[in-house]
C-alpha cells in the first residue's frame, strides 16, 4: 500500500491517482489492515505485537513510575512507558531504539488485568527500574541487540478507537499491520535479578511505599505447582522466583517501616477503572456482561460495558453507559473522550467534536486526545474546522513529534486548506517517521521546491533530504 499526500492517494493496483477527501475517510480506506494487526498474543512473537495508546492508562503508569525514577536519580523524561496487548503478567526494561541514551519500560495489559492492586504493579515497575539504574541494559549488549519495540510510537489509538474504525483506528491499523516489530524479552542473570529486587525495594522505601506488592507477584509463582502451570509465561522464565529469592525479598519487606502501607482508596478506584476499561475492550462482550451484569451500577461496570458495547458494536447501549458515567463525573476528561469516539464511529463527527473539545479543555496537555479532536474536525470537511484542526495538530506535535498519525492528519489539513507545499512536507515527515525513506525523500524534495527559500519549513525539507540522501544511495547499490 503506497502512502502519499492525502490529496493524491495512489491506488494499490495501478499508477493512477485521484483526489480524496481529507481526514477520516482517508484513514478508513486502510481499515482491513486492522485485521492483520490484531493477532492473538500467542502469535505475537511471529507477527509482532499490538501497542495500545491510551492517555488515561499511560498517565496512571507514569504516576506509578515517576516517583521511582526520581528515587533512583533518573530523569523521568528519558524513560518512555508503553502498554502492549498481551494477557500475561510481564514488564520489561529495554534500550530504546529511538534514542541511543533513553530506555523504555513495556508493560503487558495482563499485568493490570491479572494483578490485584496498584502496589503489585508498582512493585514490578520498581524491579524494572532497578534494572535500568543498575546499568543491566548497557552491560547486556547481546540482549540489547535482540530487544525491540514496534516503531509504532506515534500511533494515536485510544483503547476504544482501536476497535472502532475512527480515523485514528484506521491509521493505527496501518502501523500495526505493516510496521510492528518483534518483541523479545530480556533474560537477566540471577545476580542481576537479585540486584534489581534490592534496588527496587530501596526505591519503594524512599517513596514511602510498601514492598509487599513485589513480593506478592513473585510469590504467585514461587512454589512448584505454580511454576509448573505458568512456566511458559515470559515474566516467569525471565524472572525466576526461587525460594531463596522469596526469602530475601521477605526480609527486605519486613524491615521496611512502610511494609503495611496500603494503596489509597482513590488509587484503588483508579486501578479498578483501568481494569474495567481494558477488560471491556479486550474481552468478549459476553464475558464482560457475565462479570459486570446490567444489574451492576458501579462506575467500573458502566466503563466495562461502555467499552464492550462500543466494540460489539451496539452504539445505543454504549452511549447509555458512557453518559451514565458523565452524569456521575462531568469533569472526567476520559469519559468525554470515549463519548467523542463513539460519535465518530457512528459516522457523526460533528457530534463527536463537542465531547472531544470538552475533553481537551479538561486536559489541555493531552496530545493524543487533541489529535483525535483534529481528526474529527477534518472528517467534517469544513474549511473553518480544518483551520482549527491545523492549530490542534501543531500543538499536539510539540509533545508528540514522532506521532505518525498526527503528521498524516496534518498533511490532510494542509491539503484541505489548499497548501500543497506544507502538505508535502507533512507527508515527508509521516514517511520519515514510519521508516519509508524513499517516499520521505520524494515528498521533501517536492516541498523544498515550492516552499519559500530560507524559511524554517524549507530548511526542514532540506534537512530530511540531507539525512535521507546517504540512505537512498546505499539502497541503490
Asked if the model's pLDDT at residue 332 lies above 80, the reply is yes
Strongest mean pLDDT among 26-30, 105-109, 243-247:
105-109
Question: How large is the C-alpha radius of gyration of the chain?
Answer: 23
pTM of the full predicted structure?
Answer: 0.78
Question: CB neighbours of 228 closer than 8 A, spacing ≥ 6?
Answer: none
Written as one string, the DSSP assignment of 299-342 is HHHHHHHHHHHHHTT-HHHHHHHHHHHHHH-TT-HHHHHHHHHH
Q: Which residue has the cell 479486550?
A: 282
396-406: string of b/e by CB count within 10 Å (b at 16+)? bbeebeebbbb
* Range from 30-39, 88-97, 267-276 carrying the lowest mean pLDDT: 30-39
C-alpha cell at position 83: 502498554
Q: How far lies 420's CA from each of 4, 82, 427, 449, 463, in Å? A: 12, 35, 10, 11, 19
CA pair distance 258, 255, nearest whole angstrom? 9
Res. 24: pLDDT tops 50: no
pLDDT at 400 over 60: yes
Torsion of CA 307, 308, 311, 317, to 10 degrees: -90
Question: Averaging pLDDT over each range in 5-19, 167-181, 395-409, which range is the top one?
Answer: 395-409
pLDDT band at 117 (very low <50, low <70, confident <90, very high): very high
Contact 431, 421 (CB under 8 A): no
Residue closest to 201 by CA, chosen among 145, 153, 255, 261: 255
Q: What is the pLDDT of residue 245?
A: 81
Three-state helix/strand/coil letters over 165-207: CCHHHHHHHHHHHHHCCCCCCCCCCHHHHHHHHHHHHHHHHHC
- Predicted confidence at residue 472, as pLDDT, reads 62
Residue among 155, 52, 172 at smallest CA distance from 402: 155
Mean of the per-residue pLDDT values of the chain: 78
Cβ-based neighbours of 145, under 8 Å, separated by 6 or more: none
Q: Give the CA distances from residue 112 to residues 88, 107, 458, in Å, rounded to whole numbers and listed in that order.
A: 10, 9, 46
On whether the CB atoms of residues 130 and 205 are closer than 8 A, the answer is no
Give percent above pLDDT 70 in the chain.
71
Q: Is pLDDT of 75 > 70?
A: yes
Residue 305 reports pLDDT greater than 60: yes
Closest by CA to 378, choosing from 31, 33, 28, 2, is 28
- With beta carbons less than 8 A apart as the criterion, state whether 312 and 342 touch: no
SS3 346: coil
Task: Give the whole-angstrom CA distance, residue 55 versus residue 64.
Answer: 14
Cα–Cα distance measured from residue 311 to residue 324, given in angstroms and rounded to the nearest whole number? 18
Confidence at residue 323, expressed as pLDDT on a 0 to 100 scale? 98
According to the per-residue pLDDT averaged within each range, which of 18-22, 51-55, 304-308 is highest?
Answer: 304-308
Q: Confidence band (pLDDT; 50, 70, 90) for 49?
A: low
Among the residue ranges 4-13, 136-145, 466-475, the one predicted with the least confidence is 4-13
pLDDT for res 125: 96
Alpha carbons 221 and 194: distance in angstroms, whole number: 16
- Give the pLDDT confidence score for residue 222 in this predicted structure: 67
Return the exposure string of 121-145: e unless at least 16 CB atoms fall within 10 Å of the residue's CB, then b.
bbbbbbbbbbbbbbebbeebeebbe
In angstroms, rounded to a whole number, what is the distance separating the alpha carbons of residues 48 and 84?
11
Q: Dihedral of CA 184/189/195/201: which sign?
A: positive
- Count the residues in the chain: 477
- Top-tier CATH class for 43-254: alpha beta
**Is a pLDDT exceeding 50 seen at residue 249?**
yes
Q: Which residues contact residue 211 at a Cβ distance below 8 angstroms, ignoring those fewer than 6 apart?
A: 123, 126, 200, 201, 204, 205, 249, 252, 253, 256, 258, 259
Check pLDDT > 90 for residue 419: yes
Element (DSSP H or E) covering residue 9: strand 9-10
User: What are the boundaries of each domain within the chain?
Assistant: 43-254, 419-477
CA 225 – CA 64 distance, rounded (Å): 31
Q: Give percent of the chain above pLDDT 90.
A: 59
Mean pLDDT for 99-117 is 85
321-360 burial code (b ≥16 CB/10 A, e <16): bbebbbeeeeebbbbbbbbbbbbbbbeebeebbebbbbbb
Question: How far is Cα of residue 358 from the mean position of the Cα atoms in its chain?
Answer: 22
Whether the pLDDT of residue 324 is over 60: the answer is: yes
- 143-187 tens-digit pLDDT: 433 333 333 333 334 454 444 444 444 344 333 333 333 333 334
Please write the tens of the pLDDT for every residue from 192-211.
888 889 999 999 999 999 99
Please tell me the predicted confidence (pLDDT) of residue 184.
34
What pLDDT, on the 0 to 100 scale, is given for residue 425? Answer: 97
Position with higher pLDDT, 2 vs 407: 407
Query: pLDDT at position 373, please?
Result: 97
Amino acid at each position: 500500500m503506497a502512502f502519499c499526500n492525502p490529496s493524491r492517494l495512489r491506488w494499490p493496483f495501478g499508477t493512477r491517482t485521484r483526489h480524496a477527501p481529507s481526514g477520516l475517510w482517508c484513514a478508513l480506506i486502510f481499515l482491513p489492515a486492522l485485521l492483520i494487526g490484531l493477532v492473538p498474543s500467542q502469535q505475537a512473537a511471529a507477527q509482532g505485537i499490538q501497542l495500545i495508546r491510551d492517555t488515561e492508562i499511560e498517565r496512571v503508569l507514569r504516576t506509578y513510575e515517576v516517583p521511582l525514577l526520581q528515587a533512583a536519580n533518573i530523569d523521568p523524561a528519558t524513560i518512555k512507558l508503553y502498554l502492549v496487548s498481551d494477557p500475561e503478567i510481564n514488564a520489561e526494561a529495554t534500550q530504546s531504539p529511538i534514542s541511543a541514551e533513553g530506555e523504555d519500560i513495556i508493560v503487558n495489559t495482563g499485568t493490570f488485568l491479572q494483578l490485584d492492586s496498584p502496589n503489585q504493579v508498582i512493585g514490578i515497575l520498581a524491579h524494572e527500574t532497578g534494572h535500568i539504574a543498575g546499568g543491566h541494559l548497557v552491560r547486556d549488549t547481546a540482549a540489547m541487540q535482540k530487544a525491540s519495540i514496534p516503531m509504532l510510537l506515534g500511533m494515536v489509538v485510544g483503547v476504544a478507537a482501536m476497535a472502532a474504525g475512527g480515523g485514528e483506528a484506521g491509521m493505527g491499523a496501518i502501523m500495526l499491520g505493516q510496521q510492528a516489530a518483534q518483541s523479545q524479552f530480556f533474560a537477566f542473570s540471577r545476580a542481576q535479578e537479585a540486584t534489581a529486587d534490592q534496588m527496587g525495594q530501596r526505591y519503594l522505601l524512599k517513596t514511602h511505599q510498601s514492598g509487599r506488592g513485589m513480593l506478592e507477584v513473585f510469590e504467585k509463582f514461587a512454589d512448584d505447582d505454580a511454576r509448573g502451570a505458568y512456566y511458559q509465561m515470559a515474566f516467569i522464565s525471565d524472572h525466576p522466583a526461587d525460594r531463596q529469592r522469596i526469602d530475601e525479598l521477605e526480609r527486605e519487606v519486613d524491615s521496611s517501616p512502610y511494609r503495611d502501607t496500603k494503596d489509597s482508596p482513590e488509587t484503588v478506584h483508579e486501578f479498578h477503572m483501568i481494569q474495567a476499561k481494558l477488560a471491556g475492550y479486550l474481552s468478549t462482550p459476553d464475558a464482560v456482561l457475565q462479570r459486570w451484569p446490567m444489574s451492576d451500577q458501579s462506575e467500573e461496570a458502566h466503563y466495562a460495558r461502555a467499552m464492550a458495547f462500543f466494540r460489539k458494536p451496539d452504539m445505543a447501549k454504549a452511549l447509555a453507559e458512557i453518559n451514565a458515567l458523565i452524569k456521575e463525573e462531568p469533569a472526567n476528561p476520559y469519559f468525554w473522550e470515549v463519548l467523542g469516539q463513539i460519535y465518530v464511529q457512528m459516522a457523526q463527527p460533528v457530534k463527536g467534536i463537542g465531547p472531544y473539545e470538552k475533553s481537551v479543555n479538561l486536559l489541555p496537555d493531552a496530545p493524543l486526545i487533541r489529535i483525535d479532536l483534529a481528526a474529527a474536525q477534518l472528517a467534517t470537511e469544513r474549511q473553518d474546522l480544518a483551520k482549527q484542526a491545523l492549530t490542534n495538530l501543531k500543538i499536539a506535535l510539540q509533545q508528540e513529534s514522532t506521532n505518525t498519525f498526527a503528521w498524516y492528519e496534518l498533511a490532510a489539513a494542509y491539503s484541505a486548506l489548499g497548501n500543497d507545499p506544507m502538505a508535502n512536507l507533512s507527508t515527508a515527515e509521516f514517511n520519515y517517521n514510519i521508516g519509508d525513506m524513499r517516499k520521505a525523500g520524494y515528498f521533501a524534495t517536492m516541498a523544498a521546491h515550492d516552499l519559500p527559500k530560507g524559511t524554517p519549513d524549507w530548511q526542514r525539507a532540506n534537512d530530511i533530504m540531507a539525512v535521507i540522501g546517504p540512505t537512498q544511495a546505499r539502497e541503490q547499490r
